[in-house]
Each structure stands twice: as C-alpha cells, then as structure tokens.
Amino acid sequence: MSEPIEITRILELIPHRYPFLLVDRVLEYERRKRVVGLKNVTFNEPFFQGHFPGAPVMPGVLIIEAMAQTAAVLILLEVEDRSRELVYFTGIDECRFRRPVMPGDQLRLELDVIKLRPRAAKMRAVATVGGKVAAEAMLLSAMVQR
C-alpha cells in the first residue's frame, strides 16, 4: 500500500478543476491494482442548486465521474509526461445506484483493476457512504494524446 495522495498532488496528476474536480484525496493505492479515493460532498457544490431544490441529491452521473477521476489518478501515476496524455472515460457497464448521496456525506470510491493495458483500462468501481453501497459500475477508459 501507499501514502495518501493529497489534493495538490491530485491536481498535478489529473487536469480536472473546480467545479468539476470530484476527488479530494486518495486514501490508498496499489500501483496498477487498486485505488481508494474520497469525495467530501458539501452543500456548496454547484449542482445542488438545481438537483433538487429542497431535497439535494448528488447526481448519479457525477458519482460515476468521481469514480472515473479516481481511476485516472491511478492510471496517470504510471505516466511520466502527463502534459501529453489524457484519460478519457470510454464506457460503463453494470451500473447500479443503491442509495442517494447527500450534502455532508463522505463518498468513498474504491476501484479494482480488472485489466490494465498501456492505452486502456477496465476497473470495477464501488462508491460507499458510511459503509453502505451508493453506486457500483464497471468502468472503461482509454489514454489519448492531447
């Protein structure tokens, strides 16, 4: 296992920025095998203004995006010149949403590598809140040159 990756290092690894950066910390990782990320969900997130007024729920597509960004951190740890590469989210299979994610939740993003090739990856992703599954999916990605 490894030391946590703080936000400043995440910003060096992936190109996402506010308001679309959806991983706050990587708690642990095992290169080329597994990664665990964390997203602190706050009421200040811009999407809560419209999803839904009076009953804020994190959109499922953004939970999946948080998973994909966490996967990108693991993938880009292997790339020396990240300024020349991007990781694109290319597919999603077996996606299920099990419970809503709301302001105040800590979204734990656990991904296990199924296949990792030089330009493509497949990972099993599970997002939990308080130990309960909020979402799960099989994610596919590809590395492309900028």
Residue positions counted in the chain = 146
> What is the identity of the amino acid at 45?
E
Cβ neighbours of 91 (radius 10 Å): 12
Helix residue ranges, H only, the chain: 7-13, 60-76
Annotated active-site positions, please?
51
| Spatial contact of 65 and 16, defined as CB atoms under 8 Å apart | no
User: In this structure, what token pair is assigned to residue 74?
Assistant: 């693991």
